[in-house]
Amino acid sequence: MSYANDVLVDTDWVAEHLNDDSIRIVEVDENPALYAEGHIPGAIGFDWKADLQDQVKRDFLDAESFGKLFGEKGISNDHTVVLYGDRNNWFAAYTYWYLRYYGHDKVKLINGPREKWIAEGRETTTEVPSYPAATFDTSEGNRSIRAFRDDVLAALDNGTKLVDVRSPQEFSGELISPAGYEQEGAQRGGHIPGAASIPWSQAVQEDGTFKSAEELRELYGGKGVLREDDGPIIAYCRIGERSAHTWFVLHELLGQADVKNYDGSWTEWGNLVDVPVEQGA
């Protein structure tokens, strides 16, 4: 059983297209310092926090700022953007979702993170590429793939499937945030009532490549998340990057039509007053 959409490229494909001017390779890491240590030749590096987030409010860039950023880096609407990063493509998948949100459909994800490229002994460089400035036009944000707080509140009663992709310890309320991120947590621990716990990492193999479509269908179907009626699904995590990875699996690889990423995620929900929270496994 193949994936629903042609949205992945393997490392062999990337190696063969390093000099293809119709593509722009982009690295987005959870640890932005990794890019300077070595990256795929020609790859543009984005710092997810400094470049891709609004620096005043907790939100991402508006459409105009997003288009300006990409255009200044030499990415146009004619380019196919090929994304990868560390942490099994956490923020690469987030940037994929972000691009789709602003209407750019010519985008692929490398099937495997930067660690896979390096482990295969492939070429890296510390040289930062310089491409001519381009025009990158954006559309208004696509609400069909992004959930907001009110969408999640409505989901508690309207049959929407919720999937919590954090660790079991975060889901139960034992931890408010993963180890190492203690300063970025919410006021309360737990999960949104009715959510299924399916940690994002269960969708990938040891080398960070995605499991087969059959294995993924078994994983999400076994937890009651897949919808034969293509009904709505909302994925969430802590700040929206791990849930973007799960959004990619459900929407792009498995072809579920109505999947939204709640990028406010637990950092928003766990700080809200008068919303329900469940604790325990």
> What positions carry a catalytic annotation?
237
CA dist 276 → 78, 190, 198 (Å): 45, 10, 20
Question: What tokens does 140 get?
Answer: 């208004």
**Residue 80: burial class (beta carbons within 10 Å; 0-12, 13-18, 19+):** middle
How many CA atoms within 13 Å lie on the side-chain side of 239? 16
171 by Cβ neighbours in 10 Å (0-12 / 13-18 / 19+) ranks as: buried
Cα–chain-centroid distance for residue 219?
19
Q: CB count, 10 Å around CB of 114? A: 27
The closest of 175, 192, 180, 198 to 270, measured between CA atoms, is 192
At 156, phi and psi to the nearest 5? -65, -20
